[in-house]
Amino acid sequence: MSLRSDMVAQAEWGIAHEPQIHYAEKRPIPLDAFKAHRLPLTTDCSGFVTCVAYAAGVKPDPNGQGYNGQGYTGTLLAHLPHITRAQAVAGDFVVFGPYPGEHVVMLLQDGSATDPYVASHGTEGGPRKEKLSTEIAYFKSTVTYLRSVTAVSKVHAWDIRDGRGEHVGTTRHPAIWASRHPRSFRRYGLLSFHRRSVDP
């Protein structure tokens, strides 16, 4: 499961357990309780999206606080990249109001959708699933889209296999490996390189 799909799953878990998730602007944010799905718990809008990110394994803390239980809409605005709605995808955040922000929700669908659903925890009746247009109409203020998950460039490795499919070795640079190991072609015959993603 990807980080973003896990974020959506964590938010939907919160929505499903709305009666036991209460609203109050209190700190520290109940990160460990949310991750363990230990109820009841109490948090606010920024606390909720931070809990979702923490439970899904998003790093670093979107507030820039090292997941120390602090943070609010202002720290999200200050630490996350600002993007357009067309660039926003499920798991990204939407802040209403100018800095330091009035409210934050998390997209449950890509911003390019006609009217995507969001997870919103702004009152005791949350967290709930709402249409983005409903939130925009309610706040009647500026809307800022934030990239919640920092893009990580993918690193690849190539598994080297002989004509029978037996594993011969692994390399990050197939062309360089081939030029440095000419005898391997004589020893194993036809070799093939199979790319896979690895941790950077």
Residue 153 has what pLDDT?
A: 46
* Mean of pLDDT values over 129-134: 98
Q: What is the pTM of this model?
A: 0.76
Mean pLDDT of 120-125: 96
pLDDT-wise least confident of 65-69, 110-114, 187-191: 187-191
Lowest mean pLDDT among 9-18, 97-106, 166-175, 190-199: 190-199
Q: How much is the pLDDT for 157?
A: 79
Provide the sign of the torsion angle of the four alpha carbons 17, 19, 25, 29, taken in this order.
Answer: negative
CATH topology of domain 3-146: endopeptidase fold (from Nostoc punctiforme) (3.90.1720)
pLDDT band at 161 (very low <50, low <70, confident <90, very high): confident
The pLDDT of 92-115, averaged and rounded, is 97
Across 5-14, 23-32, 44-53, 182-191, least confident range: 182-191
Domain positions in the chain:
3-146, 155-198
